[in-house]
Amino acid sequence: MKKKAKDKLQEMPEFYFKEFTPEESRIYEEAVLKYREAIAAGKTLREAYESYSVADKELEKLLQADFLKIMIAELHFGKGQSLEDVARALSVSRELLEDAKKRMIQEAGVSAANQFGDQFGDLAPKSDD
C-alpha cells in the first residue's frame, strides 16, 4: 500500500507557475479587464481574445489560458452554471472547458501539495516496509 502511494506522488505532473515582472503584471491585469469587458458586451471568447493584443505571444497564450480558467471558476464553480451553459455562453466546445477544468484541479492539487511540503517538510516514510 505504501508503495502505491509513493508511486502516485512521483506521477504528479510538474507545472511551471510563472513569476510576473511588474510590467507583465500590468499587461495581465489590463488584458483580463479588456477580456471581461468584451465578454460582458456579448462577445465570444475568441472575440474577447482578439480585442486585446499582447506583443509577447508567449505571455498572451498564458493570459488567454488563465482567463479561460477565471471564467470557469466564476461561472461554473462560483455561479453553478453547467459546463454546457458556460461553453454556450463563451462559444467554445465543452471539451475545451473540461480539459481546462482538469488542468485547474491538477494545478490546485500540485500547489496544495507544494505548500504542504513547504510548511511541514517531507512526511514520507523513510523506508519501504
> Hey, where are the domains in the chain?
23-120
Please give the grid coordinates belonging to residue 26. Answer: 500590468
86: CB partners within 8 A, 6+ apart: 71, 72, 75, 76, 97
CA pair distance 111, 117, nearest whole angstrom: 10
Structure confidence at residue 2 (pLDDT): 45
In the structure, what pLDDT confidence band is assigned to residue 20 with cuts at 50, 70 and 90? confident
Percent of the chain with pLDDT over 90: 64
pLDDT at 40 over 50: yes
57 vs 28: CA distance, rounded Å = 13
Cut 0.85: pTM above it = no
**85-99 per-position pLDDT tens digit:** 999 999 999 999 999
15 φ, ψ (degrees, to nearest 5): -125, 145
- Measured from the Cβ of residue 24, the count of other Cβ atoms closer than 10 Å reads 16
Q: What DSSP state is assigned to residue 126?
A: S
